[in-house]
């Protein structure tokens, strides 16, 4: 159909659609050498709210806890994970498949920047090509034995996020937002999209939540007061966390030294993920 949104599970066109498919028909098997226990998506209603930061912090802290961790950077047109870990150059590949890059502590990372001739080359691709690359990151990459595969999802609710939801066997998603977004409809759209795709929303993370004065220790809500508790309660989300505006954290990301940084954040989210 010309106006098809590919959400067959919630389509009103019950009869006469030759393209109709069940939810599982979109799933793609991962590489046969992979043994991945949990696939966790990190999502946002729009870009620039710290989704990649949350993905990276979760991966580092899970690795410190002794878990085997990898990151699939599904944000094909705006990849930022490699820089966070100071990863450059092309990843190796052979007849068996593609091998992710490894950070200093052993976190596997697959990102489009690790396949481009130059990391600053723009990805000027149309939707089907992006979807194909995303599929290869799942079907052709040898992550190996993984306890948690964190997926840095594309922002928004468009075609590429829809492809990721339909193709990947997500065990749940974490929604990342700033205080300003929590008063609007952006978070609601992200939550509702996950529910439409029958993916559990595991928790809500408020980034830029506050700034803590290094002198007096007082917290200042420079982007508006925190609303994470009330919004999480409104959507029935038991797990919620906050990340402040932290210059040292931002500096570690820019320098690619996140694995050496002090990361006293996301305790509630980590405890919840350990119980899945």
* Residue 8 pLDDT level (bands cut at 50, 70, 90): low
Closest to 76 in 3D by CA, of 193, 156, 185, 176: 156
Who wins on pLDDT, 43 or 47? 43
pLDDT at 221: 92
Residue 82 has pLDDT above 70, yes or no: yes
Who wins on pLDDT, 33 or 235? 33
154-168 as b/e: b if 16+ CB within 10 A:
bbbbebbbbbbbbbb
For 173-213, what is each residue's pLDDT tens digit? 999 999 887 766 888 888 899 999 999 999 999 999 999 99
The string of DSSP codes covering 20-72 is ---GGGG-----TT-EEEEEEEEE-SSSSSSHHHHHHHHHHHHHHTT--EEEE
The residues with which 195 forms a beta bridge, in sequence order, are none
Q: Taking residues 92-103, what's their average pLDDT?
A: 96
Q: Taking residues 92-97, what's their average pLDDT?
A: 95
Classified as helix, coil or strand, 124 is: coil
For 135-158, what is each residue's pLDDT tens digit? 999 999 999 999 999 999 988 777
Q: 79-93, 169-183, 197-211, 255-269 — which is least confidently predicted? A: 169-183
Mean pLDDT of the chain: 89
CA 169 to chain centre: 13
Who wins on pLDDT, 159 or 85? 85
* Residue 172 pLDDT level (bands cut at 50, 70, 90): very high
Q: Taking residues 8-22, what's their average pLDDT?
A: 51
Who wins on pLDDT, 58 or 10? 58
User: What percent of the chain lies above the pLDDT cut of 70?
Assistant: 90
Q: Taking residues 34-63, what's their average pLDDT?
A: 94
For 109-133, what is each residue's pLDDT tens digit? 999 999 988 888 888 888 889 889 9
Who wins on pLDDT, 92 or 18? 92
**Is-contact 183 224, C-beta < 8 A?**
yes
Closest to 137 in 3D by CA, of 103, 86, 100: 100
């Amino acid at each position: 159909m010309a106006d098809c949104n590919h959400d067959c599970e919630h389509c009103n066109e019950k009869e006469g659609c030759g393209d109709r498919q069940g939810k599982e028909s979109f799933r793609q098997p991962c590489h046969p050498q992979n043994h991945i226990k949990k696939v966790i998506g990190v999502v946002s209603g729009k870009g620039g709210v710290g989704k990649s930061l949350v993905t990276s912090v979760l991966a580092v802290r899970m690795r410190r806890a002794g878990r085997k961790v990898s990151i699939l950077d599904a944000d094909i047109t705006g990849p930022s994970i490699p820089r966070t870990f100071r990863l450059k150059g092309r990843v190796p590949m052979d007849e068996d498949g593609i091998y992710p890059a490894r950070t200093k502590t052993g976190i596997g990372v697959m990102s489009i920047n690790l396949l481009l001739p130059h990391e600053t080359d723009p990805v000027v691709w149309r939707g089907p090509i992006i979807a194909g690359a995303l599929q290869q990151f799942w079907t052709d990459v040898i992550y190996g034995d993984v306890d948690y595969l964190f997926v840095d999802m594309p922002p928004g609710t468009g075609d590429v996020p829809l492809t990721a939801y339909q193709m990947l066997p997500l065990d749940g998603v974490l929604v990342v937002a700033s205080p300003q977004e929590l008063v609007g409809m952006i978070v609601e759209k992200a939550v509702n999209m996950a529910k439409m795709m029958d993916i559990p929303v595991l928790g809500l993370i408020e980034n830029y939540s506050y700034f803590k004065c290094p002198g007096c220790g007082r917290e200042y809500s420079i982007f508006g007061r925190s609303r994470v508790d009330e919004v999480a309660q409104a959507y029935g989300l038991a797990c919620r966390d906050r990340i402040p505006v932290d210059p040292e954290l931002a500096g570690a990301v820019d320098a690619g030294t996140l694995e050496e940084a002090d990361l006293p954040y996301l305790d509630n989210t980590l405890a919840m993920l350990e119980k899945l």
